Amino acid sequence: MLTLSRKVQGVEESQTLALSAKARSMKEAGVDVISLTAGEPDFPTPRHVKEAAIKAIEANFTHYTANQGIPELLDAIVKKFGEDNDLHFETNQILVSSGAKQSIFNALQAICNKGDEVVIISPFWVSYPEMVKLADATPVIVKTCADDGFRVDRRRLRQSIHPKTKALIINSPGNPTGVVYTRSEMEDIAAIVKETGIFVITDEIYEKVIYDGSRHFSLGSIKSIRDQVITINGVSKAYAMTGWRIGFMGGPAKVMEEAAKVQSQVTSNPNSIAQKATVAALLGPTSDLEMMVREFHRRRDLVYKSLSSIPYLGVQPPGGAFYFLFDIQKYYGKRFKNQLIKNSNDMARYLLEHHHVALVPGVAFGADDCLRMSYACSMTDLEKGVNRIKQGLEALA
């Protein structure tokens, strides 16, 4: 029978990618579109990282490697986790994959059974619920809202955990909210995790993109829950290496072993050249990273000032990552010509089609009252983009 997988049909296509594609095709058709949808730094990969890759190619380091990752990269990751995060792993507790996305996928495949539930805090990164579904488990969403600064309520989080709950996914600094959990919030979460005996997948991919002198705190460094925590990280965001596709995780050896089995049957090792480049990124100078974060910080402050001047827009300065998630629900119910704007999809479509600025509808992140704007683009584009948002909303008001 030529029927397709019901499981896969139940999975959404990544809406962030879908909207970028629409903006790109308008651009290709000659429309001057400002795209503020990017999920990646607009900086080049550092020179010393590129040189390590060139050296790897010249040395013919271009074949299969160990499925788990090359020994020198495993050592570099152990060192990184120890020094940056107070996480102390042996190399058999690390798995390198083709992006943090694959790391999370592998982790979920390794721990979930049919009927399990996985708790996700909304607004969430688009892929979490869909990856949970692909692991035959059910996503359970705990909502947070703009008025509470998108911070999770301890009591509601505890109430979402039942005997069927297998894991909780947390993401700090968060995409799309930019929320950075404090140490004391992490301790509250750890207490719940300890009491309920579940796994936590902590996605720390934006760890280095953090502002205002705050410090990233790794949940897994809390000793009492160490054996329940799977820590995800990678080089995409910190080292402007999204295209190289290297992510990694550290956690209980048994989980890593099962996750490695999944990987060995699906992709095998991540790219050999990119692994060498990642060693250079993790062990090399950090001046490019520091420059990039300073620039994101500058843009964040300037954009926050402009966005704050738009009436009825709910906006807060993000503590990390490079996105604003602003609340536009006060504009719902307005019309442009015959088009009624009733949700974030309508609003994103309206702003793209009539004001040529592309943003991601919040519904993709479980936040239909909001739009996400990336500031990983030039200041010129940001200024133009914010003006277009302003004009678009004024035309509705």
Ligand X SMILES: Cc1ncc(COP(=O)(O)O)c(C=O)c1O
C-alpha 190 chain-centroid distance:
21
288 binds ligand X (CB under 6 A): no
For residue 234, the minimal CB distance to ligand X (Å) is 4
Residue (205 or 357) nearer to ligand X, CB: 205
SS3 assignment for 243-300: HHCCEEEECCHHHHHHHHHHHHHHCCCCCHHHHHHHHHHHHCCCHHHHHHHHHHHHHH
Q: Which of 37, 45, 122, 175 binds ligand X (CB under 6 A)?
A: 175
Residue (241 or 341) nearer to ligand X, CB: 241
Alpha helices, H only, 120-198: 127-134, 154-159, 183-196
68 binds ligand X (CB under 6 A): no
Q: Which of 46, 69, 99, 361 binds ligand X (CB under 6 A)?
A: 99
The window from 97-105, 181-189, 260-268, 273-281 that contacts ligand X (CB under 6 A) reads: 97-105
Residue (17 or 59) nearer to ligand X, CB: 17
The window from 94-102, 153-161, 363-371, 374-382 that contacts ligand X (CB under 6 A) reads: 94-102
Rounded CA-CA distance 22/317 in Å is 28
Tell me how long the chain is.
397
The window from 93-101, 289-297, 326-334, 348-356 that contacts ligand X (CB under 6 A) reads: 93-101
Rounded CA-CA distance 81/215 in Å is 15
For residue 83, the minimal CB distance to ligand X (Å) is 20
Residue (68 or 177) nearer to ligand X, CB: 177
Q: Could you give the 3-state DSSP secondary structure of residue 165?
A: strand
Place of tokens 């996605």: 203
Rounded CA-CA distance 356/331 in Å is 18
125 binds ligand X (CB under 6 A): yes
Residue with the CB atom nearest ligand X in the bound state: 99
Burial of 130 from C-beta contacts in 10 A (0-12 / 13-18 / 19+): middle
Q: Convert residues 229-268 into a mask of x (bound to ligand X by CB under 6 A) and - (unbound).
A: -----x-x-----x----x---------------------
For the chain, the maximum distance between any two Cα atoms, rounded to a whole number of angstroms, is 63
The window from 63-71, 96-104, 248-256, 381-389 that contacts ligand X (CB under 6 A) reads: 96-104
- In order, the DSSP letters of 318-375 are -SBTTEEEEE-GGGTT-EETTEE--SHHHHHHHHHHHH-EE-EEGGGGT-TTEEEEE-
Evaluate whether 374 touches 37 at the Cβ level (below 8 Å): yes
For residue 40, the minimal CB distance to ligand X (Å) is 7
Q: Which of 142, 205, 238, 357 binds ligand X (CB under 6 A)?
A: 205
The window from 98-106, 107-115, 161-169, 347-355 that contacts ligand X (CB under 6 A) reads: 98-106
Question: Contacts with ligand X in 297-356 (CB under 6 A)?
Answer: none
Say what the alpha-carbon torsion angle 18, 21, 26, 29 is, to the nearest 10 degrees. Answer: -140
Residue (205 or 255) nearer to ligand X, CB: 205
- Tell me which residues touch ligand X (CB under 6 A): 39, 99-101, 125, 171, 175, 203, 205, 234, 236, 242, 247
